[in-house]
């Protein structure tokens, strides 16, 4: 067989497989889109509520202090945790946080 024939057959096979997957996903959307449960299930009816916000206790401050000391390489007594607030979620990837730690640790 010619190299180009093998390449065209391989690319064609992958293309047909992707088209098939796309069609199957479209069928799932059509099959399950209109279906709704008439009665709520027991799991959704008794879903646990998130814990209310509370003041930081000594254990939490100790854990945060130990994490800061481990990340920066300093001693836990060389800094003071003034306040602890919920972040509300980060959109920065993990490597962005590591880069910040590296920059602060190097003294830049």
pTM for the full predicted model: 0.32
Token couple for 86: 């919920």
CA atoms of 64 and 86, how far apart (whole Å):
13
Angle formed by the axes of helices 94-106 and 58-72, nearest 10°: 70
Rg (CA), the chain: 27
Per residue of the chain (108 residues), what is the pLDDT tens digit?
A: 789 999 999 999 999 999 999 999 888 878 877 666 555 555 555 655 555 555 567 788 888 888 888 888 888 888 888 887 766 666 776 666 666 665 554 544
CA atoms of 74 and 70, how far apart (whole Å):
7
């Amino acid at each position: 067989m010619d190299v180009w024939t093998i390449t065209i057959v391989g690319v064609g096979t992958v293309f047909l497989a992707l088209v098939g997957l796309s069609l199957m996903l479209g069928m799932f959307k059509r099959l399950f889109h209109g279906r709704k449960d008439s009665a709520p299930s027991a799991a959704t009816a008794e879903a646990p509520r998130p814990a209310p916000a509370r003041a930081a206790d000594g254990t939490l401050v100790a854990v945060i202090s130990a994490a800061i000391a481990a990340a920066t390489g300093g001693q836990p007594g060389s800094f003071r945790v003034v306040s602890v607030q919920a972040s509300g979620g980060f959109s920065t990837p993990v490597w962005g946080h590591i880069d910040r730690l590296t920059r602060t640790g190097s003294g830049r």
